[in-house]
Amino acid sequence: MRPAGSLFLMVLALALSAASATAGGWATVALSSTPDEVGPGGTWVVSMDIRQHGVTPMKGEWVKPAMIVNGKRYPAEFTGRDGIFRAEIPLPKTGEVVYAADDGFSQTHEFPPVSFDGIEAPAAPAPSTPALSGGDDGWLIGGLAALSLLAGLGAAVWRPRRRGRRTAAPITAPGS
């Protein structure tokens, strides 16, 4: 094999191994409620459902997620059920509530802020629907998978070129 060809294959192998080492490091977070469902001055008790790749619940207590509200971090406690963590957060009586969920695994998921200005009483609870965030980098995972597939197919089909045709020496009978 030519040196340039072997260098190309080594660089390709290194790139693919680095890409596969970082691929798969994302999670989604669904919240059981939002601050506007509690209202101003209340205590927001929120459950975080954290799932790897949006499917598999994060297992165990090794994950250290937290809610971040108006710049302050509130650690979420493991509930004993895989993927479910709970935090209690005191809410302000007025102003804006800017909140995000740190999944403790890969990223911080931001949610739309809630304003308590002009609200005097707690809002009536609305039907709870999970607020989903994250997992929007699936195109990156798909692209890396496609690149890996193409590299594998290229390696399977690629054959080194030979400079000249080699022929075997003619077979002669003994004694001739």
Q: What is the pLDDT of residue 115?
A: 92
Identify the residue whose tokens are 């809002």. 123
Asked: is 27-138 a CATH 1.10.3470 domain? The reply is no
pLDDT at residue number 150: 73
- The pLDDT value recorded for residue 111 is 94
Residue 35: Cβ within 10 Å count: 26
- List of residues 6+ apart from 126 with CB closer than 8 A: 37
> Mean pLDDT of residues grouped by 10 in the chain (176 residues)?
53 47 72 93 95 87 90 94 94 94 90 85 53 54 70 70 65 72
The single-letter code of the amino acid at 17 is S
Tokens representing 145 are 């998978």
Contacts of 105 (CB under 8 A, 6+ apart): 25, 26, 27, 50, 52, 58, 63, 65
Beta bridge partners of 141: none
Distance CA(63)–CA(134), nearest Å, equals 17
Contacts of residue 131, Cβ cutoff 8 Å, sequence gap at least 6: 30, 31, 34, 111
